[in-house]
Copies of this chain bind each other. A is one copy, B any other.
Amino acid sequence: MIVRQAVNVLEILEYFARVKKPATLAEIADHFGWPRSSTFNLLTTLAEKGYLYEPRPRAGYYPTPRWLVLAREVAEVEPLPGWTRALITALSAETGETVAIVAPSGVMAVFIDVVESAAAIRYFAKVGHRVPIHATSSGRALLLQYSKDERDSLYRKIEFKQYNHTTPISIDAVEAELRKSLERGYCQSFADYSRDLAGVAVPLPIGERRLSVVVAGPEYRIGDKTAAIAVTLQQAVERFRAK
Contact = CB atoms under 8 A, between A and B. Distances in A.
Interface of A: 1-10, 13-14, 16-18, 20-21, 41-42, 44-51, 53-57, 62-75, 77-78, 103-106, 108, 110, 112-113, 126-130, 150, 153-154, 208-210
A128 to B, nearest CB: 3
7 contacts: A50-B130, A53-B103, A53-B105, A63-B74, A64-B110, A68-B68, A71-B72
Task: Name, among A21, A54, A70, A150, the residue most crowded by chain B CB atoms within 10 Å (CB to CB).
Answer: A70
Contact of A67 (B46, B70, B78): B70
A37 to B, nearest CB: 9
Contacts of A53: 103, 105, 108, 110, 112
Given A16-B74, A53-B110, A71-B71, A48 B2 contact: yes
Contacts of A2: 41, 44-45, 48
Contacts of A105: 47, 53-55
A223 B1 CA distance: 55
A53 B208 CA distance: 16
Nearest to A47: B105
B150 A57 contact: yes
Contacts of A106: 47, 54, 57
A71 B225 CA distance: 37
Nearest to A80: B65
A67 B62 CA distance: 16
